[in-house]
Amino acid sequence: MILGKISGFFVRNWQFTLVLFGLLVMMGLNTFNSIPRAEDPDFASPFVSITAVMPGADPADMEKLVVRPIEDAINGLDDLENISSRAEDGVASMSVQFSWSTPDPDKRYDDVVREINALRGSLPSGLQLLQVDKFRPSLTNMVQVALVSDAAPARELEDVAKDLRDEIDRAPGVHETKIWGLPPSEVRIAVNFGRLASLKIPVTAVANAVGAESNDVPGGPIHSGTRRFNIKMTGGYKNLDQIRNTVVGAYEGRIVRVGDVADVSWSQEEAGHLAWYNGKRAVFITANQKENENVFAIRDGIYKVLDNFEPRLPKDIVLQRAFDQSVSVHERLSHLYRDFAIAVGLVLITLLPLGPRASVVVMMSIPLSLAIGLSMMDFAGFSLNQLSIAGFVIALGLLVDDSIVVVENIERHLRQGKRRLEAAIAATSQISVAVVGCTAALLFAFLPLLSLPEGAGKFTRSLPVAVTLTIIASLFVSLTIIPFLSSRLLSDKSHPEGNIFLRAVMGGIHRFYRPLLHRALAAPRRTVIGALALCFASLALVPVIGFSLFPPADSKQFLVQIEMPQGTSQEETGRALRYAESVLAKRPEIVWRMSNLGHANPQIYYNIRSEETRANMAEIFAELKQFDEVKTPRLFDELRSEFARYPGAQIILRVFQNGPPIEAPVAVRIVGPDLSVLKDIAAKVARILEETPGTRDVFNPVQLERTDFNLGINTEKAAMMNVQPGEIDRTVRLAIVGETVGHFREANGEQYDIKVRLPLDQHHALDALQKIYVPTADGNSVPLNLLTSPKLESGPGRIDRYNRERLVTVTAYTKTGYNTSKVTDAIFAKLEHLPVPPGYEFRKGGEAEAAKKSFAGLWNAILIAICGILAVLILEFRSFRSTLVVAGVIPLGIFGGVMSLFLSGYSLSFTAVIGFVALIGIEIKNSILLVDFTNQLRKLGTPLTDAIEQAGEIRFLPVLLTSATAIGGLLPLALGGSGLYSPLAWVIIGGLVSSTFLSRLVTPAMYLLLAPKTYVEENAEEAALAQPAE
């Protein structure tokens, strides 16, 4: 047959095979050194974020003037799945999600940018920022350093930060570098409104005059004879004195200049984002990496820049190297490398029954298969990350299976007296079809995982890719390199019954397994029904175990998020921030703290996006000395208790979560048109969440309303006083918020805004309104208070929308030890009894929504895997009965998998279900060996019962060894305590234990009940080869 000829070619042409062997090893080493390394997998994300800033606009205005027009503009885009919007005080944040199956997320981003650009002209002129960003895990910042100084002037700190940013930006592999926590410098023209009023000059005259003079517009070229000249204009300021001398008008025959009515100076923009490092004033600088780059190589380049830059720092500025993603990448990969090394040792121990030479041959398949698999994975564009390495560790116990089966069969032929070359070719040819069928069945268990939908599928994809490519490589190695090595290294003078370990194992098989098999075959129906009943009874534990999506990451870093009621000043938010900092500062377990006021910390984890500037929010990014799976959760609970003591603020300690981004583990969406009704319902829902056991940090975003100051402009009175329409609005905005009227360019090319406004110590005070004068059409000025009737008004603090509908999302986190799925089910069970008006409804969000989509894809993957495996079995055996006997092993692993989850304390998570899918292929692989060999014996004339018993005993050893190696390879992952890998490992280990032993009885019993038809072949030589050695 063709497979036998292929194996024979590599055995006979040993020189070629030896060169191929070396080539594969070199290729693997080269790939291992060059493949990109990262903490988490990179994948194209279909999210696009839109941020709009319009100072002074309330949430209702932001919704009406900004959010709705943008929603209408992008609603018709292809592959659009949902639009989430939030309108707050002067800020609108929108998240646009396209389908995860969209072929090109970058094109969808371009579509959004195109629609936004087309819309810009129709949006309000007061919109200061309208920004569109794409979301991709690789753009997460990998480094965050701090320039710390309590004494350095702001301009000096800004100049140093810009120099460092520019140098880091030039480091190889760096994609983008940003400065955070430093309000940009500006030229401020602080206007004296009283002086302007006495001179009868409107403030708009100051803005218009400075704006006109600051425009540095080229006059164009002129020609004189053969010469060409560029006309230089007077526009563009060179120093601040030129601004002070700008003419703004005249009064009683005197020229009035800017310096006569305003103070012109260098200043900082109003501080929207302030930062501290361990309590000291700081500026943060972050850098992210380009796609498909090695995080360690980029780190080395950045650190070289820092090493060269640090000696040049002014004495009053200190550089602190805080967050470095490569450290956690190194730790995580080191742990997995350690697990890999332990797994190799455990696999080696399980191979002792084969003898030292056979064990060496089998172990050679590990580096070869990994070398090929790693090279193919690099070629496919995947990085070496925590999930791909976990995939290699899983594959470690599986990739030796084919080699074990081949080597064990070659050893058996050698013990029957065959020469090495003859035994290698004949034994490999005899077992090759079963090996290919086993591998094909195993591949069909993992291949459907490559097409899992949603973010969970994208996140985990590198795991099945690593397993699949390595298993394909192992099949090639087992049918080519392994027969060659066996023909050269195995001894043809070994003991006819094998070494001491083999004799001990075979003795146990004869002593214990043979009597049990006799009993099972004596009562086959009872055996099958009893085993299946045991397996299906274990499903009763599933509700007890509970479902979950992804566990928290085992990370030393964490966030403390502070949320104050809407309308809270930045100063008041700062007091809450200082309290949270004081709590953390008392803990010696914490190495450093990076605090942010008015803005979230820059993005440092792939599924947590940084929020835009808001006066009522703050965030602390902190790192522990080390993560301990027992002590760290206890520490976090203690910190949460202390944070809860601060009144009037919600202080949430947030740990990093594996998987796709979600708003919170528990989220109840209340959809309806009227904000007041939504607010009432949200209050009741929040109360239910607080009363449900297992919840913490319940957040109701509309709990408190905001209070606005309505000027109450009297338009009739304004018209009588000759005030033009729009002048009041512009004057008030210019005074309170300020207006950028031009730009100031220094000699080095740096450009700064020129802003006209009230002095900083006045524009936030309520009595600032008394100082504002509005220009009239005849050149005079009128006090603002003569045209207004101010009053306080209440309004919504924020307006949330989902798919163009108003909604309120009440969220909560779950306490340690509680299952999110069970808590969510308990909450919605209570909500069924909460009456709501027509047009309002509850919807599940958070983990429940993500799990529903992700698990739906998993169930499809299971069905595809089973159908694919059945197709392989029918193709191999050409018999429905043989297929049914082999497939009958599938339920047997359920018992062990469920029991292992129950005993280990893990829930049925996304990765645990992946473990069940993988288990199907592994179980089938072992069952194929038994049924295929039983069929071979029957074709050689062995009676049915004798064939079943002989196949059961002869194939028990390779099945036991393959299961033992798989368990040995997975044990380090299972015992490592990782919430991400351990459930998957425990499912496969438990399933293999139950399946291995139950199937040794159930599969023969099923074969006896459903014995397929066979035709005896007259071939004495093959019959002799097939008989076990005596």
* Residues 217-265: tens digit of each pLDDT: 555 566 666 666 666 555 678 888 888 999 988 887 889 898 998 898 8
Please tell me whether residue 755 adopts helix, strand or coil conformation: strand
pLDDT value at residue 852: 81
Please tell me whether residue 787 adopts helix, strand or coil conformation: coil
Tell me, yes or no, whether 328 and 361 share the same domain: no
pLDDT value at residue 1020: 41
pLDDT value at residue 320: 95
Q: Is the per-residue pLDDT at 798 higher than 60?
A: yes
- Token digits of residue 58: 């309330």
Residue 768 lies in a domain: yes
pLDDT value at residue 577: 95
pLDDT value at residue 228: 64
Tell me, yes or no, whether 1008 and 934 share the same domain: yes
61-80 per-residue burial string, b: 16 or more CB within 10 A, e: under 16: bbbebbbeebbebbeebebb
CA distance linking residue 784 with residue 772, whole number of Å:
6
More reliable by pLDDT, 415 or 845: 845
Residue 633 lies in a domain: no
Residue 814 lies in a domain: no
Q: What mean pLDDT comes out for the span 498-520?
A: 76
Q: Is the per-residue pLDDT at 115 higher than 70?
A: yes
Tell me the pLDDT of the chain averaged across its residues: 83
**Cα-based torsion angle of the residue sequence 399, 400, 403, 409 in order, rounded to the nearest 10 degrees:** -130
Nearest-5° Cα angle at 309, 303 to 312: 155
Confidence of residue 495 (pLDDT cuts 50, 70, 90): low
CA distance linking residue 584 with residue 588, whole number of Å:
9
Residue 173 to residues 237, 287, 292, 296, Cα–Cα distance (Å): 38, 10, 9, 10
DSSP 982-1022: HHHHHHHHHHHHHHHHHHHHHHHHHHHHTPPP------HHH
Domain range spanning residue 246? 185-215+234-268+707-795
CA distance linking residue 591 with residue 698, whole number of Å:
29
pLDDT value at residue 235: 60
Tell me, yes or no, whether 301 and 366 share the same domain: no
942, with CB counted inside 10 A (0-12, 13-18, 19+), is buried
Strand order across the 751-757 sheet: 262-268, 185-191, 751-757, 739-745
Tell me, yes or no, whether 734 and 878 share the same domain: no
pLDDT value at residue 1: 55
Residue 518 lies in a domain: yes
246, 756 contact by CB (below 8 A): no
Tell me, yes or no, whether 376 and 447 share the same domain: yes
Please give the distance of CA 186 from its chain centroid, rounded to a whole number.
Answer: 38
Which segments of 351-412 are extended strands (E)? none
- The HSE-up count of residue 998 (CA atoms within 13 Å, CB side) is 25
Q: What mean pLDDT comes out for the span 53-74?
A: 89
Alpha helices in 453-523 (DSSP H): 454-460, 462-479, 481-489, 500-508, 514-522
Question: Is beta strand 274-277 parallel, antiparallel or unpaired with respect to 590-597?
Answer: antiparallel
Least confident range of 107-116, 280-289, 671-680, 993-1002: 993-1002
149: left (phi over 0), alpha (psi -120 to 50) or beta: beta
Least confident range of 56-60, 209-213, 237-241, 413-417: 413-417
pLDDT tens-digit series, residues 858-893:
777 778 888 888 888 888 888 888 888 888 888 888
Q: What mean pLDDT comes out for the span 83-94?
A: 88
More reliable by pLDDT, 786 or 275: 275
Tell me, yes or no, whether 983 and 928 share the same domain: yes
Tell me, yes or no, whether 460 and 539 share the same domain: yes
Q: What mean pLDDT comes out for the span 120-149?
A: 86
The torsion angles phi and psi of 936, rounded to 5 degrees, stand at -60, -45
Residue 773 lies in a domain: yes
Residues 6 or more apart whose Cβ sits within 8 Å of residue 203: 191, 193, 196, 731, 734, 735, 756, 773, 775
Point out the domain boundary residue: 749, 774, 795.
795
pLDDT value at residue 230: 61
Tell me, yes or no, whether 254 and 312 share the same domain: no
More reliable by pLDDT, 122 or 611: 122
| CATH code (residue 753) | 3.30.2090.10
Number of domains in the chain: 3
Which sign does the torsion angle of CA 371, 373, 379, 382 carry?
Answer: negative
Unique residue bearing structure tokens 């007061």:
126
State what percent of residues in the chain have pLDDT above 90. 23
Confidence of residue 1027 (pLDDT cuts 50, 70, 90): very low
Nearest-5° Cα angle at 682, 678 to 686: 180
Tell me, yes or no, whether 338 and 443 share the same domain: no
pLDDT value at residue 301: 94
Residue 861 to residues 358, 390, 453, Cα–Cα distance (Å): 37, 20, 10
pLDDT value at residue 824: 92
| CATH code (residue 921) | 1.20.1640.10
Highest mean pLDDT among 141-150, 550-559, 862-871: 141-150
pLDDT tens-digit series, residues 702-715:
887 777 777 788 88
Residue 654 lies in a domain: no
Q: What mean pLDDT comes out for the span 890-911?
A: 88
Q: Is the per-residue pLDDT at 1026 higher than 50?
A: no
Least confident range of 244-258, 542-556, 801-815, 991-1005: 542-556
Tell me, yes or no, whether 511 and 368 share the same domain: yes
Please tell me whether residue 620 adopts helix, strand or coil conformation: strand
Closest to 283 measured CA to CA, from 167, 145, 143, 169: 145
Tell me, yes or no, whether 386 and 370 share the same domain: yes
pLDDT value at residue 1021: 42
pLDDT tens-digit series, residues 960-988:
877 887 887 788 878 877 777 789 889 99
Confidence of residue 321 (pLDDT cuts 50, 70, 90): very high
Q: Is the per-residue pLDDT at 958 higher than 80?
A: no
144, 286 contact by CB (below 8 A): yes
Point out the domain boundary residue: 295, 326, 348.
348
Point out the domain boundary residue: 348, 366, 381.
348
| CATH code (residue 323) | 3.30.70.1320
Please give the distance of CA 174 from its chain centroid, rounded to a whole number.
Answer: 20
pLDDT value at residue 827: 94
DSSP 245-283: T-EEEEETTEEEEHHHHEEEEEEE---S-EEEETTEEEE
Residues 6 or more apart whose Cβ sits within 8 Å of residue 618: 561, 562, 573, 574, 576, 577, 580, 595, 596, 597, 598
Residue 937 lies in a domain: yes
State what percent of residues in the chain have pLDDT above 70. 92
Tell me, yes or no, whether 261 and 369 share the same domain: no
Residue 497 lies in a domain: yes
pLDDT tens-digit series, residues 727-769:
787 788 777 777 888 888 887 777 888 888 877 555 455 666 7
